[in-house]
Structure formats: structure tokens, C-alpha cells
Amino acid sequence: MKHHINDMKRRALHNADAAYYVLDYLAHSFPVQLYELFTDSEGNLSSRPVFRDGQPIECREAARRRDALIEKLAGLPPVPGALDQIVQRFGTDLVAEVTGRSRRIVRKGDGPAARLIVESRAGSANLAETAAFMDDQKRILIFSDAGGTGRSYHADLGAKNQRLRVHYLLEPGWKADAAIQGLGRTNRTNQAQPPLFRPVATDVKAEKRFLSTIARRLDTLGAITRGQRQTGGQGLFRPEDNLESPYARDALRQLYRRVYRGDVAGCSLGAFEDATGLSLTDDNGLKDDLPPITTFLNRLLALTIAMQGILFTAFEELLAQRIEGAIAAGVYDLGLETLRAESFCVTDARVIYTHPGSGAETQLLTIAEKRRNTPTSLADALDWLDDPNARLLVNSRSSRAAVQVPATSLMLDDGTIEARLRLVRPTEASTVPAKIMDDTHWLEADRAAFAAAWTAELAEVPEFSESMLHIVAGLLLPIWKQLPQDETRVYRLQTDDGRRIIGRRVSPAWVATTLAADAPKLTAAQVHAIVLEGKTVVRLAEAMELHRSCVMGVNRIELSGFTEAQKDRLKADGFFSEIISWKLRLFCPADASGIAVLDHLLALFPIQGLHARKGC
């Protein structure tokens, strides 16, 4: 049997190094010593190893099982690594390998005559392979830390190969600095074009643990070295890729509560504690001091693939909900964001604070923003039909079109799951509870009716849209706490005259409060835009107000505070009425035609002030 095992070890060495280590581990570490039961002096039943002449006795049944397991593993076909698969799939004529390997397995021949052989690599092979790739003789390059020290693989203007580099980040490891070094080899100065980075992960959910560590450390490294988190990650990772963020910790606590209540399909509380070794309960129920996120992620690595999928899918859904909610509320911290538009022009600048010691100023800038509208084309809208749950809708009242697709469900405070749908429209997309759709005017339509409504709506979309934004720039720290705390994002932009601005964006309501001595001067288009944004209420003369309302999942501009005598005049100017819950309400059109309606309204009832709206 020993000769048979040694023979299998030699074959395993040629197949894959991992097989050799597994077989060696089983041969030397599989428990085969014989144990016997005995009762100690206190009557407890225990076991102890059996010895004869001072030597341990081997259990024949355990040895048989060990040998059978070794034989079964040795008989399995070898699983080649990613490196070998790429080399064998595309061939050495197309693949340049710059690694520390001295031997590799390559495929020779085609068809039934193809065979795998072990090929030795000379010490100078890496130099020749690099030259072949840069001279455009080989289209694919594989490099590792061991073989890539001091080399560059970017689209150098002095090299023959100036093709776009599509850099796949495979097996990134745990070191963020090493990942940055590897990414930098294809992204350097004097290049024809920057590379396209692609992190790679399999469907084994726990593998995202490694990408999460890289994402978190890249963000931290970017914040330390350049004062901006995005510069570290280079845009490689999404917000949900960082599994150690505050949102991930909140999602984990909610996952623990769902497991405790038995709301995770396929994983009961007992199964979770047995599989992970984590204890969630004590004598009073769910613990206050629950296992941290790092412990949970590390325990995932030891679970079966099926259990990983169950737990990680539930965790990802909760994390996506947390991040989506934070982004929708405007409180998600994205770091320093760059605003891009067709045009930025500063129309007004006022000093609102001067530091007494240094004389440094804080300015409130009013900037006219011009954006190019990019509506969803009819072809892109119909592509949603690839989802079997997608539906084409047309609103029976407004004749607007929308595509209904499934959206991420939301867990309410009472633990119930609220199913939600996403309505994709030409210029926007909104998420609404599924239960309200029966009460709306959205009706399922055939392709022809949908195409006609969608095309008609596209024809009404102007090429550009204009709006006003307010930025507090300059010296920020002394007045940071005086700025709105509901949105703390920092933005940067470049105006048409080349001026670069970095600062906090504030709402028109905050501007009106800060400049209370001056009456707000806004055009009808500006009022239309800020009301639809949903963060500002416009106070008019005679105690009327304009604010945004959500009716049947659609955002509208509502006028409140009008009298019975004013109703007919307002409707004649373009407002339309609806009776909702036995109450008459007036609305201004939310499309471009509403600007003219507001122009008539403001001429009769001037703006008295603005104030921030509480809630959404």
C-alpha cells in the first residue's frame, strides 16, 4: 500500500501541487490510532489511546478509511489553476507568461492527438515574454508578483503594442499596496490610452471577502496619500464591495435578527450556530454583543458552498438596501465627488464669513448648470424584456410609458418584507411598493402602444436642461457645523472660464435663510426644478405653498393653501385638480409645460421665502 501511495504522490506532483499536499496531509495526519472506552473514578465515560509494548496500536478500520480516501482523491481528475487554464486554452503562441515558475504544463498537438507535457522555462524567459508582448507578437500577458518586479506593460507610445489593456485582477491577495503596484504596471505616463481594470471573482460567495479587504484598504490608502478615497480604489469597486463599512455592520445586525426570527430560508438559528460556531443568543434572547463583521466574514470561508450562498445572498440584499436608502436620502458619504455637465457658470458670489485672524473668506456661490439630457432610447427600454418579469406599461391618464421590472425588497421596521417594483421611464427611474400598483393608472400595454407612447415622450425631451446649484466654497472648517447636516457631501467642479471650485452643496432653502435680508429671486424654471428635487418648500403670497408630493408612486408639484375663490383662476392658468381621500388638491404639470404655469402663478403670488422640507 505504501508503494501505491508513493506512486500516486508522484503522479499528483505532475497534476497539481495541491493534490500532493492534500495526500501528504491525509497520509500523516488522518487519525488512525485505536481508542478504548473506560469509566473514571467519578463514573464518567471517557476514551483513551491503546498501547502495546509502549507503541500505539493502529485501528484497522480507520486505516482502511484513510487509504480509501487517499485512493479516491488520487483518482480524481486534476483541477488546473487559472494560470494553466489560460496557457492551455490559448496556447503559448498567444500567451506571454511573466511569473516565477521554472516549469509549467502546456498542451501540445490538436484534437485526439493532443497531450499535456511538462515544459521547463529558462531564467531569461520572462525578458523574452515581455518583449514579445510589447512588440505585439503575443496578445495576452500573464504576470505575477514574482515575475513582474520592475517591469511595465502599459500602452507605451514608444512600443509597437499600443492596444487597449484590459487588466483582469485575479487572486488579488490581502495587500492593498501590492495590488496598487500590480495595477500600476499597466497604467503609467507616456501611454497611448489608459487600461480598463476588471476585478474577477467566482460564484463562491466567500471569495468576496478578499476583494472587500482590498477595497477597504485601497480607500484608506487613497485617503491617506491623496486626501481622497476614490484615488486609492481607482473606481474599481462599488460601495457594496466594502463589506466592513458602517452600512455593512448595520446589515449584519439585521441579518442576525432575521436568523434569530427564522426569516432566512434554508438556515435556521440552530443550523447557523452549528455551521459558523457563532452564538447569537443568551438567556434573555438575542445577545446585545453580537459577533463583529470581521468574525462573520472569516467564518463564512469555512462553510459549505450552499450555506455560503444562502447567508451571503441574504446579507448582500440587506447591505444593498442600506446603501440604496442612504443614497436616496442624500446621506451616503461618497467622499469628494466630481460634478460634470455641459456648462457651469458662476452667476453670483457672496462672502458669508471672514476669518478674523487670517482674513480667509467663505463664499456662497450661485452656479448656473447646463446638462445634456440623455433619455433612455426605445431599444434600451425594450431590452428590459429580457427579464421574464418585466412588463410594458402605459398610463391611462397621462399617456406616459414605463417599463416595470422587479426591485430589491425592503424590510420594514416590524420585520415584514415589502415587495417593490422599479418603474423605468425615459428620463428617470423610481422604486415603488408593489402593492400600490393596483391603485394607479398604469396599465399593461402591447409593444406597439408602448413604443408609440415612449417615442412621443422622447420627442418632448429637450436637448439640454438648466438648473441652479449653490456651493459654499473657500474656508469651510470654521462654519462646518453651521452648514446643513442632512447632506455633507463635498463636490468639485470646473466652470467654463477654467475656475476650479471645491465646496459643500446647500439647498435653496438654506440660502434663503442665510440671506434672510434679501427676498429670494427665482425664475419659474428654477422654482420648478427645486420643488421637484423635493428638499425645498416655496412660500408664496397669501399663505400658499409649492411642494413636492408623491401620488401613486409619481412625484408631483402640489399647490396648497388656495381658497375656493382662487381655484377656478388657478385651473384656468394650467393647474389641474384631483379629489384624493375626499379632498380637493391642485397640481402643476411636472413636465416642461409646468414652467409656464408657474410663471403665471408667480406673477400673481410672488415668492415670500423658502424653507427646507422635513422628510422626503
pLDDT digits (tens, 9 = 90+) for 107-151: 887 777 788 888 888 888 888 999 999 999 999 999 887 765 678
3-state helix vs strand vs coil in the chain, percent to 5: 40, 25, 35
Total domains, the chain? 4
Does residue 419 lie in a domain region? yes
Q: Strands 95-98 and 140-143: what pairing?
A: parallel
Does residue 174 lie in a domain region? no
Sorting pLDDT into bands at 50, 70 and 90, what band is 229?
very low
Higher pLDDT, 468 or 2: 468
Among the ranges given (30-44, 421-435, 473-487, 569-583), the one the predictor scored with the smallest mean pLDDT = 473-487
Does residue 36 lie in a domain region? yes
- pLDDT for 413 equals 60
Q: Specify whether 400 is located in the same domain as 330.
A: no
- pLDDT for 583 equals 86
Does residue 503 lie in a domain region? no
Task: Return the exposure string of 477-499: e unless at least 16 CB atoms fall within 10 Å of the residue's CB, then b.
Answer: eeeeeebbeebeebbebeeeeee
* 14, pLDDT greater than 70: no
Sorting pLDDT into bands at 50, 70 and 90, what band is 393?
very high
* 492, pLDDT greater than 70: yes
Q: Specify whether 447 is located in the same domain as 523.
A: no
Mean pLDDT over the full length of the chain = 83
Q: Specify whether 601 is located in the same domain as 527.
A: yes
Higher pLDDT, 278 or 508: 278
The residue out of 75, 92, 119 marking a domain boundary is 75
Show the DSSP H helices in 541-605 as ranges.
Answer: 564-572, 593-604
Percent of the chain with pLDDT over 70: 87
Does residue 356 lie in a domain region? no
Among the ranges given (50-64, 407-421, 443-457), the one the predictor scored with the smallest mean pLDDT = 407-421
Among the ranges given (17-21, 68-72, 168-172, 274-278), the one the predictor scored with the smallest mean pLDDT = 17-21
Burial class of residue 612, CB neighbours in 10 A (0-12, 13-18, 19+): middle
Query: Model confidence over 347-364: pLDDT tens digits?
Result: 989 888 888 888 888 999
Q: Pick from 143, 220, 139, 217: which is nearest to 185 by CA? A: 143
HEC letters along 2-27 = HHHHHHHHHHHHHHCHHHHHHHHHHH
Determine the Cα–Cα distance for residues 11 and 4; give it in Å rounded to an integer: 11
Q: What is the average per-residue pLDDT within 46-64?
A: 90
Q: What is the average per-residue pLDDT within 576-600?
A: 89
Sorting pLDDT into bands at 50, 70 and 90, what band is 547?
very high
- Supply the range of the domain harboring residue 442: 378-460
Please, are residues 229 and 335 in contact by the beta-carbon 8 Å criterion?
A: yes
- pLDDT for 454 equals 94
Percent of the chain with pLDDT over 90: 21
Q: Specify whether 314 is located in the same domain as 402.
A: no
Q: What is the average per-residue pLDDT within 265-289?
A: 88
Q: What's the one-letter identity of residue 305?
A: I
Does residue 483 lie in a domain region? no
Sheet of 500-506: strand order equals: 336-338, 490-494, 500-506, 464-474, 361-372, 343-354
Does residue 490 lie in a domain region? no
- pLDDT for 9 equals 42
The residue out of 49, 75, 101 marking a domain boundary is 75
Q: Specify whether 310 is located in the same domain as 251.
A: yes
Non-local (6+) Cβ contacts of 569 within 8 A are none
Does residue 151 lie in a domain region? no
Q: Specify whether 257 is located in the same domain as 315.
A: yes
Contacts within 8 Å (CB) and 24+ apart, 98-104: 98/126, 98/129, 98/130, 98/141, 98/142, 98/143, 98/144, 98/147, 98/148, 98/151, 99/126, 99/142, 99/143, 99/144, 99/146, 99/147, 100/144, 100/146, 100/147, 101/147
The residue out of 427, 442, 460 marking a domain boundary is 460
Q: What is the average per-residue pLDDT within 90-102?
A: 89
Q: What is the average per-residue pLDDT within 551-579?
A: 88
Q: Specify whether 610 is located in the same domain as 522.
A: yes
Q: What is the average per-residue pLDDT within 434-463?
A: 90
